[in-house]
């Protein structure tokens, strides 16, 4: 198989490149295979760098909008005045080397302007520090966590949820063609897919999906999130901060994630696969749980 120029992404798949490898089955064979790109994105807020996000290139504005809210850097999307991605795409093959370097630097930098009095640049570290300090505790003290309570009255039918894993799997183009990515899908109460985002980081995929909705004025308090990976405390706190009422995964949550979800009103579902699911916290939002005596 002939290899395209290694600097160019595969057109239909997006941010991937080609890599020469040697496979062994009954004999050795040299091949060119697609590989995912992973690059740092420098986030500057009001002229100061506040984070470097390792991510799959693409949907940078969505990623940063979601990150700012889900990490508590700003309390409301309305506090953000501007999100400017300084560049995008890969350079053309005939561009000079210095131009290529400029393009690379540019697409890995994003600038945000927010209302100065609303900015809390220490929020992310505060949450990480508090959670780590409390990992050995039996109970989570709400006073130690700067998180709101999820008050959405949203409810969804269990039968609707049972079809979401297949829908997400069918929409995972990068995972199917290349592998190595996490997926996050947002659904409405009817089980309709709102958006699916893939990234090398599951946290990034959540932020991209959230940001997609924020930039398009799509409400989050009546949506369901389905993730391809484990639900850790970071995933739970992100959902709580932006007011998402139901967080699901095809995998398992951690014990601390369940504890935080229970304390702050988040419905948490694991092992949502085929005709199965396990509800860990706030089952009242899922129609059918009580009727089934706690088993779905």
List, run by run, the mean pLDDT of 10-residue segments along the chain (296 residues): 44 69 73 83 92 91 96 94 76 41 72 93 60 46 77 95 95 86 96 95 94 97 95 92 97 89 94 91 88 50
Burial class of residue 271 in the structure, from the number of CB atoms within 10 Å of its CB (0-12 exposed, 13-18 middle, 19+ buried)? middle
Judge whether 86 counts as a catalytic residue: no
Q: Which of 251, 243, 241, 296 is nearest to 271 (CA)?
A: 251
Q: How many CB atoms lie within 10 A of CB 84?
A: 13
- What burial letters (b/e) apply to 4-26, b meaning 16+ CB within 10 Å? eeeeebbeeebbbbbeeeeeeee
**Which tokens sit at 89?**
């795409």
Which one is catalytic: 86, 135, 227, 248?
A: 135
Nearest to 65, CA basis, from 267, 223, 220: 220
Model pLDDT, residue 291: 65
C-beta of residue 224 within 8 angstroms of C-beta of residue 186:
yes
Question: In 103-123, which positions are buried (b, 16+ CB within 10 angstroms) versus exposed (e)?
Answer: bbeebbbbbbebeeeebeeeb
Q: What is the pLDDT of residue 26?
A: 73
Q: Which residue has the tokens 């699916």?
A: 196
Asked if 152 contacts 112 with a C-beta cutoff of 8 angstroms, the reply is: no
> Which pLDDT score is estimated for 126?
58
Distance of CA 13 to the CA centre of its chain: 19
Q: All domains of the chain, ordered by start, with CATH? A: 147-287 (3.40.140.10)
Q: Which of 174, 208, 185, 227 is nearest to 58 (CA)?
A: 208
Q: What is the C-alpha to C-alpha distance for residues 135 and 281, in angstroms, rounded to an integer?
A: 19
Closest CA to 72 of 125, 142, 130, 123: 123
């Amino acid at each position: 198989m002939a290899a395209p120029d290694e600097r160019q992404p595969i057109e239909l798949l997006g941010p991937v490149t080609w890599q020469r490898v040697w496979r062994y089955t009954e004999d050795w064979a040299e091949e060119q295979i697609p590989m995912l790109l992973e690059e740092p994105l420098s986030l500057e807020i009001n002229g100061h760098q506040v984070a470097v996000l390792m991510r799959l290139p693409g949907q940078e504005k969505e990623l940063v909008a979601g990150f700012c809210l889900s990490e508590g850097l700003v309390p409301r999307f309305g506090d953000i005045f501007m999100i400017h991605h300084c560049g995008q795409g890969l350079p053309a093959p005939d561009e000079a080397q210095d131009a290529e370097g400029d393009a690379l630097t540019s697409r890995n930098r994003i600038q945000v302007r927010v209302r100065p009095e609303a900015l809390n640049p220490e929020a992310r570290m505060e949450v990480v520090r508090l959670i780590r300090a409390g990992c050995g505790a039996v109970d989570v003290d709400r006073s130690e966590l700067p998180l709101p309570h999820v008050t959405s009255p949203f409810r969804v039918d269990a039968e609707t949820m049972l079809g979401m894993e297949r829908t997400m799997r069918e929409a995972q183009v990068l995972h199917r063609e290349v592998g190595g990515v996490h997926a996050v899908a947002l659904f409405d109460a009817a089980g309709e897919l709102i958006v699916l985002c893939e990234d090398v980081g599951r946290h990034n995929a959540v932020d991209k999906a959230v940001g997609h909705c924020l930039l398009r004025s799509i409400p989050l308090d009546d949506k369901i999130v389905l993730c391809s990976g484990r639900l850790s405390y970071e995933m739970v706190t992100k959902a709580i901060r932006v007011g998402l009422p139901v967080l699901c995964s095809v995998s398992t949550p951690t014990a601390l994630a369940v504890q935080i979800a229970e304390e702050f009103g988040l419905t948490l579902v694991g092992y949502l696969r085929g005709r199965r699911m396990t509800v860990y916290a706030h089952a009242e939002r899922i129609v059918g749980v009580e009727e089934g005596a706690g088993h779905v």
